[in-house]
Amino acid sequence: MTAEEVVGRLRSGMTLGIGGWGSRRKPMALVRALLRSDLTDLTVVSYGGPDVGLLAAAGKIRKLVTAFATLDSVPLEPHFVAARQRGAFELVELDEAMMMWGLTAAVHRLPFMPIRAGIASDVMTVNPSLRTITSPYADREELVAVPALRLDAALVHLNRADAHGNGQYLGHDPYFDDLFCEAADTAYVSCERIVETSDLLKDAGPQTLLLKRAFVDGVVETPNGAHFTSCAPDHDRDEAFQRHYVAAARDPEAWREFTARFLSGDEDAYQAAVAAFHEEEA
Amino acid sequence: MSGTDTPTTAPAVTRAEYCVLACAEAWRDAGEVLASPMGTVPMIGARLARLTFAPDLLLTDGEALLMGDVPAVGAPPGVVEGWLPYRQHLALVATGRRHVMMGASQLDRHGNQNISCIGDWRRPTRQLLGVRGAPVNTLNNPTSYWVPRHSPRVFVERVDMVCGVGHDRAEAAGPSATRYHRLPGVITDLGVFDFETPDRVMRLRSLHPGVTVEQVREATGFPLAVPEEVPYTRDPTAEELRLIREEIDPRGLRDREVRA
């Protein structure tokens, strides 16, 4: 499929899970395709990075479910910060482990999972719908019942996949991309390269096969598709470009220029503009 | 004096080096647990502890690898002894076999910590990181704090959002919250603090040499518990100084986080 075809299967108002973590292996080419679409009113579930920032800046998020938004080497995501300070979307702010447990509950088709995290913190007060549950055993412990984070669709980016949706990560961390896909009614994976199934294990062990085709509905080949986030070992984070993004995001005029230069054409135009940016910087 | 091997030209111990040492001390007697330092000075401190008095500590490369050796800050490990991707890291928190040292944008006298936002949560005046893993950390494993610039803006009467749980909030919530809750200490550029008072409020434990009690009081936005006798943070040994300066942080990154 193409990124446009993926977005063509999504609808405004959907709950969308986005894989990766912070500024690491985000499905940025799919996010850029979302930016080009007229989809809006989205509920986004993400360990937030520039995916959240770009969608927030474009006004596409109605509700965000996250524990943070960061660019890693730059601690604060500037568009997320600005959007929060102007009250641009509803926020469900959960602890990192609560997020994992909420996705896990959805994968297991359970209504909730119990977790100690959250008790006594303001996560409980800013999310008044969160409930606790008392252990039925002798300990009688009171724990948070994290509701299942069921998704209409998941978008993730991996290093390799075959055309059927068997997805492979080659870096050090799978993040939570399998949970996102299994918690979703439909899941789409973009990858650096689509390979023959028989080639998946040529240079890597079977434990790198993170996604099973039964949980993937579409595969898109998007070389450099996590840019400017990291996608080790295929490409590192583009720190120079990320700094440029941050500087532009902090100034409305600079952001208009950034949008005109990088986000007004298709993915090929984006990648060409990024290459030109680096030639200028060199 | 007959001793000739004491170098008289060695530069004096800097404030950043006292901070590194104080951070390292947080992991003394921690045993075979994961040390999770957040910030440059705690990272140098954890590596110093591992190289000296806490050799059983587990350390990560900041991403998904457990380091079998102790490289300089910023350098990759030469030996990898294990794998700890985020999902395992979050699970490890729940086992309690970890002592994390987090940052704090705000911290109150009971040890409640905020890294989420400043102002009204519904529409903050300053959005920060978000709650991150502070709730799960504080209820599951020992959590210390590192504040590189001690000021009344950080040490406030009440935090705007409780991310890391303090003693008063944990006690009010009951046994599920208090069962594994432990806040061993707070280290700042001015001194070391703990909560070892009858009502579990923040207390001055030691001053870094050159700092006065008055200075600390002025930089703290709530009344601080101060014992009659306040010791100074201990001096590093010659070997500790060598490790900090030559092995762990030869580029002097510690001085970027703590002013001289």
Assess contact for A123 and A98: CB atoms under 8 A: yes
**B129 closest CB neighbour out of A75, A87, A117:** A75
Q: From CA A243, how far away is CA B137, in angstroms rounded?
A: 30
Mean pLDDT of B100-106: 98
Whole-number Å distance between alpha carbons of B11 and A142: 54
**pTM as predicted:** 0.96
- The conformation of residue A265, written as its DSSP 8-state character, comes to S
Q: Which residues contact B56 (CB under 8 A, 6 or more apart)?
A: B31, B32
Residue A148 CA, distance from chain mean position: 18
- pLDDT of A256-280, one tens digit each? 999 999 999 999 999 999 999 999 9
Q: Is residue A142 within 8 angstroms of chain B, CB to CB?
A: yes
Which of B121, B125, B174 is opposite residue A142, by nearest beta carbon? Answer: B174
Residues of B in contact with A95 (CB under 8 A): 131-136
Decide if A117 and B85 are in contact by the 8 Å CB cutoff. Answer: no
Chain position carrying tokens 């030639």? A279
- Residue A106 token pair: 């959805």
Burial (Cβ within 10 Å: 0-12, 13-18, ≥19) of residue A153: buried
Model pLDDT, residue A133: 98
Best interface-test mutation with A: which of B105, B116, B163, B182 has the largest number of A CBs within 10 A?
B116
Cα separations (Å) of B213 from A172, B108, B150, B198, B228?
47, 18, 13, 21, 11
| Residue in chain B nearest A96 by alpha carbon | B133
Contacts for B169 with CB less than 8 Å, ≥ 6 apart: A120, A121, B110, B112, B162, B177
CA-nearest residue to B122 within chain A is A87
From A89's Cα to the closest Cα of chain B, the distance in A is 10
Work out the number of other CB atoms within 10 angstroms of the CB of residue B41.
Answer: 29
For chain A of 282 residues, list the mean pLDDT of each consecutive stretch of 10: 98 98 98 98 98 98 98 97 98 98 98 98 98 97 98 98 98 98 98 98 97 98 98 97 98 97 98 97 86
ipTM of the complex: 0.96
